[in-house]
Structure formats: C-alpha cells, structure tokens
Structure 1
Amino acid sequence: MGWSVIDVPLSVLDLAPVAASGTTSEALAHTTALARRTEQLGYHRFWVAEHHNMPAIASAAPPVLLAHLAAATSTIRVGSGGVMLPNHPPLVVAEQFGTLEALHPGRIDLGIGRAPGTDQATALALRRTMAGLNAEAFPQELAALIGYFRGDPGPITATPGAGQMPAIWLLGSSGFSAQLAGTLGLPFSFAHHFSPANTLPALALYRQHFRPSVWLDKPYAMVAVNVVCADTDEQAEWLSGPAGLSFLRLRSGRPEPLASPQEAADYPYTEFEREFVRQRRDGQAIGSPATVRKALTALREQTQADELMLTTLVYDIDDRVRSFELVMTDPDDDQ
C-alpha cells in the first residue's frame, strides 16, 4: 500500500525507455526486471503504454509485452496504460486481452485511450484505413469491445474474449474520457504526468457523472504522476534531466533515444526551451524520499485519488529501480 501517510495503493507505469547507449532488447529486459522488483516491493499494478514511431520507447506492442511480464511475475496486476483503441479493431483487442485473461485470470487490466497517441501517418499505417481513426467514434468502438467480452449475440464471437473480460479502465488527459468513464461506471485513470492543469476538472467531471455499474458501486480514480526519487534532492534533479530533454525533442518532432544525465546537462537549451522544460516539471515529484513523500501526499489530498500510479523516466535501470525502492521506504527509516 505504500506509506501510511498517503494511504492509497501505489502502482507503476513504465515506458520501457531505450537509452542512447542501449538497445530495445536491453530496454525490455530492464522493464521485466523492474516489474519483478516492484512486485516484491508491494506495488499494486504494473502498466505499460502503447507508443509508435518513437525511438526512445520500446513498448509498441503492449499485449505482447504484457504476456511476457505476466509470465515473469506472479501476483502483481499487469495492464495497458493504455491501448489506443482508434489504432486497433475492437475484435483484435478483445482477442488479445481475452487471451491474456485466459492465461492469467484475475491479473489483467485493459486501460483504453481515446486518441491514436501518434501522428496520423503512423496511425493510418496501424489501421490501414481512416475508419476508426476519428476519436468521435470512440464510444461506439468501446461499446463493441465490451460487447465482445460479454459475448453479446451476433455473427462474431471473440475466442478468446467472450466470458474472459479483463478489468477495463478508461484513460484520459481531458474531460471527454472522464465523463464517459463516469457514465459507464468504469474506473478512470488520469494522466496528471503530462496534463496537470486538467487533473482536477477531469476528476470532478468523472465523479459528477458517475453511475453505479456491474464494475463499480462508486467512483474509482487513479492519478498518474512523474516521480524521480533519489537519496538527495540534488541527485534526483540530476537524474531527471534526460526526461525533460526527451519530451522537448518529442514536441520538436525529432524524438531520440534517452540521453544520459550528462548529455542532458550539456544540451544547449535556448531560453524558450528551458521554460518549456520547466513547465513540464509542474506537478512532478522529484527529490529525496521526504521531498517525494510530501509531493505525493499533497497530490493525494488535492485529488482525493483512490490510487497513485508512478512513472519514472531516468537513464539507468539501477536508478529507476532505486527510485521505486526509495518511494516504498518507511518514513521512520529517514530519521
């Protein structure tokens, strides 16, 4: 459950980052090692996200990676944070996650996003048709996906899929998915880590529109937040440099593998770029265990989240593992 002062489950979102000096094989091996270690530490769930055409991220195929992670662990829930539904026919997603649920009953989460999460050319290459790429079709495609899991009568039966429904979540960074999740009575995960200004309005919409369902009697909201925890505030600041540079390069249309902390420190930022990176840090929890604990406690109190999901983008896997270890440190051990 994490610290008693936070008193909510803590979970993990991992991006399988590819270091500038590494390979995708190493990145996926590191993600596997992190899943095992966070399971040992008591984290509640471990999610990976769908990203395409991004050299810095190796999680292009969440169902494949999740099958591996579930087999490499035994108790932690594993899931997608998320699968971008506009990129895939609902039947394919139902068969993939029905298979995962059949292999690992009761441990699979299907977090679903409304946007393609990539450029239009890549999204078109994934679906090979513009049909389904319009986010306005999301409610209908979501309904079709849920119908496959329920085994609704029709000409097509998802096998696996029908009768093997994973835990379904809606993901969002604005109000649309928040309102839809509430209307359907689904759990909702908000991307505070890249849209902090929208966090409170979206959570308010979710709770305002919530209707009890077969899944939930009352709202259940999770908030994802960037965390870099190190022995000192100064070390955490140093380790957080590559994430800021990576996001800057992504928004500039030139994504690259994750730089080292020294490369990030040496990068010739313009004043505009420095301000962009500074704004990117809003809402993050970066520092020593005490500093991070204070930030997470404040976020929990501000959002009234039922669960916090931590994502840590640093260059070295040992620093990534260490960050999650320090987050679970007993506060009395800091004295």
Structure 2
Amino acid sequence: MNAPRSVLDLAPVRSGSDHAEALADTIAVAQAADRLGYERFWVAEHHGMPMIASSSPAVLIGAIAAATERIRVGSGGVMLPNHSSLVVAEQFGTLVALHGERIDLGLGRAAGTDPVVSAAIRRGLAETVDDFPQQVIELLAHFGTIPALESGEGSRILALPGLGDAPQLWLLGSSDFSARLAGMMGLPFAFAHHFAGGAMTEAAMRLYREAFTPSVVLREPRSAIAVATAVAETPEEARRIALPQSLTMLKMRSGQPLGRIPTVEEAEAYPWTDAEAAWVDQRLALQAVGTVEHVEARLAELLAQTAADEVILAPQGADRASRIAALEALATPAAG
C-alpha cells in the first residue's frame, strides 16, 4: 500500500499519570513517528477533559516541531469557532516562521468540549459553528492565500506573523458538512473515521470528491482518513490494548465520562454488560485492530472504499510503549 501514513495523537492521560507525563509521552511518540518515516503528526484540541492533555494545540505543536526533524506537525484539529481567526493566523504563522513548511493547520467546526466550557473560552461572544465557513475565508485572507479582506472602516487587518507564512490548511470532519465545504472551497479534507466510522465515512468522502472545485490551494481533491489502530500478535491482545480507550469513549457517549483513561487491567475489571461488550466489538470491527496482517488488510480496504490519498493512524494504547509499538509495526520506509 503506497498511500502516505500519518499519526493522530490525543495526548492521553492514563490512570496514575499526570499532564506532564502525558505530554512527554506524546512528544516521544512524535519522535518515533519522525524516525519511522511517517508523513505528519497531528494533535487535537479538547477542553475540560481529564483524560486528554491537548487543550492548546499551537503550544504543543511548537514543542513537537522543536523535538523532531523531518515530519510535518500540525493540528487535527483546531476547533475554529472557539477562536478569533486572526489569533489562529498569528499562532500558526509564528509556527511556520519558526519551523518552515512542516506546519499543518487542520480545522474543525465543533467546540471540542461542552457548552459551559465553550462559553468560557469564547467569553460570551456570539461566534458559532454557523460562522465556520466565513472564519475559514478569513484565515485564508490572513495568510495571504486569497486577497485581504476589508474591515468595516476600510482598513486592512494584518496577521503578523501570518501573512506570507501559510501552513498547509486542511478541513476536518465527521459528517458531510465539512466534506461538502472542503470540496466547494478546494481544500484538503480529512475524515474522522476513528470517531464516526460506519456508512458516513464512504458517503462523506464521496461527497467531498463530487463537490470539489479547483482553487488556488488545490487543483485536484486531496483527502485523508483517520483510523483507530491497535496491533498485537493475536486479535484478542489487540482488543485488550484498545479496551481502555473503548471504555472511555463508551462512557463519554453515555454521558458518564471517566477521569483518566483506565489501565488495561482497570478496563478489564469493569463490569461489562453484553450490550457494552458488543458495542466495543462493533466499533473495533470498523477500525483497524488486530494482527499486523489484519490491520494492513483493513487499511487497504478502507483506502479502496474511500479513495483517500492518505491514512492517519490513531494508536489506541494509552501508554507510550504500545503507541510506539503500533507505529513500528506499521511503519513505511523513511521519506527521502
């Protein structure tokens, strides 16, 4: 399979650990991905979640870029409605000025948190997900990718750094909205199969290609698919590695979020109902969890089904060693 491989890491905070260790683990995983030849390494914006330490993507991206040499580093993604487009342009323009063309800016339109925390981030401002398309246009203007926009007073607003320091910009999504928008705007698109899965994946990727209109950014569609991944010598052991994050997602979906991500032993000790265990099996069947041979076949199947140009692995182990082991098992040859 010749499609480039990348990594999405959520800086998980496991039981018995703390934020400092979680962030150190993520940087170590990024260094391994760099050494192993992966295309890009992304972190995501989440707020108010004790099990995730990546609340400030720009800061974490800077630390990762400084600790790596070749790999692209970016956001998967920045939740744009939480922020001023100007501030995001300045942050990522600064990252480009510091680290050159290695920086990616993936944009999502969700809040990445609950409404109370979201309101605190925005300080009561009226910015909503409905403003997302306009914010993307503002960002493109701030970076100088499209002509500058005029303010109400007729003066030009400049992002410095930012203007002339454009990162590679992607739209992210787990539904058809961002797929259609990315296509209409002629931007790269990454689908969160690791989160959504199911029939929506193929539908969104097809919609992106059908809606695609060439732009100053892209002449042809460019897409990626993020897939939850765990690798072991047996299917049972791979499921065991993925169990802590599966339990975490299950509890979040049921409105009973956990604190830290449980250890494998804690997840195994949880009193699973038959329905909960079946939900986990169904979720993992949609992802790429199992032996190396099964995972490779599943990745190839997903790429064929979606016509994606790139696969983004989301390693499911909460500890550093299991995430790096998965990347080693699935590594592609180092880039030139």
Q: TM-score, normalised by structure 1?
A: 0.93
Alpha carbons of structure 1 residues 70 and 329: separation in structure 2 relative to 1, 3 Å: closer
Q: Secondary structure at the match of 1:139?
A: helix
1:137-216 alignment runs, 5 A limit: 137-150=131-144, 152=148, 154=150, 155=155, 156-197=157-198, 198-216=200-218
Amino acid at match of 1:102: A
Verify: 1:264 aligned to 2:267, yes or no. Answer: yes
How many Å apart are 1:272 and its aligned residue?
3.3
Q: Is the 8 A contact 1:289 1:329 kept in 2?
A: no
1:94-133 alignment runs, 5 A limit: 94-132=89-127
1:228-247 alignment runs, 5 A limit: 228-247=230-249
1:269-308 alignment runs, 5 A limit: 269-308=272-311
**Separation in structure 1 between the aligned mates of residue 217 and residue 312 of structure 2, nearest angstrom:** 20
Q: Is the 8 A contact 1:84 1:114 kept in 2?
A: yes
**Separation in structure 1 between the aligned mates of residue 293 and residue 246 of structure 2, nearest angstrom:** 22
Amino acid at match of 1:144: E
Alpha carbons of structure 1 residues 153 and 262: separation in structure 2 relative to 1, 3 Å: closer
Gaps of 5+ in 2: none
Amino acid at match of 1:299: L
**Separation in structure 1 between the aligned mates of residue 143 and residue 46 of structure 2, nearest angstrom:** 25
Partner of 1:3: none
Q: Is the 8 A contact 1:9 1:43 kept in 2?
A: yes
Calculate percent identity across the aligned residue pairs.
Answer: 49
**Separation in structure 2 between the aligned mates of residue 284 and residue 109 of structure 1, nearest angstrom:** 25
Partner of 1:310: 313
Amino acid at match of 2:79: M
Which of 214, 218, 221 is matched with 1:219 structurally?
221
Gaps of 5+ in 1: 1-5, 331-335
Amino acid at match of 2:114: D
**Separation in structure 2 between the aligned mates of residue 238 and residue 276 of structure 1, nearest angstrom:** 15
How many Å apart are 1:329 and its aligned residue?
7.4
Q: Secondary structure at the match of 1:248?
A: helix
Partner of 1:92: 87
User: Root-mean-square deviation (CA), in Å?
Assistant: 1.4
Q: Is the 8 A contact 1:12 1:311 kept in 2?
A: yes
**Separation in structure 1 between the aligned mates of residue 237 and residue 273 of structure 2, nearest angstrom:** 24
**Separation in structure 2 between the aligned mates of residue 90 and residue 26 of structure 1, nearest angstrom:** 31
**Separation in structure 2 between the aligned mates of residue 204 and residue 304 of structure 1, nearest angstrom:** 8
Amino acid at match of 1:305: A
Which of 46, 49, 54 is matched with 1:51 structurally?
46
Q: Secondary structure at the match of 1:105?
A: helix
Q: Secondary structure at the match of 2:92?
A: helix
Which of 30, 36, 49 is matched with 2:25 structurally?
30
Q: Secondary structure at the match of 1:32?
A: helix
Alignment deviations for residues 117-167 of structure 1 (CA, whole Å, 9 cap, x no partner)? 2111111111112411x2111111111121111171543211111111111
Give the number of equivalent residue pairs. 324
Alignment deviations for residues 200-223 of structure 1 (CA, whole Å, 9 cap, x no partner)? 111111000101111111100100
Farther off after superposition, 69-78 or 310-319:
310-319
Q: Is the 8 A contact 2:37 2:332 kept in 1?
A: no
Amino acid at match of 1:293: E
**Separation in structure 2 between the aligned mates of residue 315 and residue 223 of structure 1, nearest angstrom:** 21
Q: Is the 8 A contact 1:84 1:116 kept in 2?
A: yes
Q: Secondary structure at the match of 1:57?
A: coil
Q: Is the 8 A contact 1:175 1:202 kept in 2?
A: yes
**Separation in structure 2 between the aligned mates of residue 48 and residue 170 of structure 1, nearest angstrom:** 14
Alignment deviations for residues 197-253 of structure 1 (CA, whole Å, 9 cap, x no partner)? 211111111000101111111100100000001233232121111011111222223
Which of 109, 130, 155 is matched with 1:136 structurally?
130
Q: Secondary structure at the match of 1:286?
A: strand
**Separation in structure 2 between the aligned mates of residue 148 and residue 107 of structure 1, nearest angstrom:** 19
**Separation in structure 1 between the aligned mates of residue 149 and residue 208 of structure 2, nearest angstrom:** 30
Verify: 1:76 aligned to 2:71, yes or no. Answer: yes
Q: TM-score, normalised by structure 2?
A: 0.93
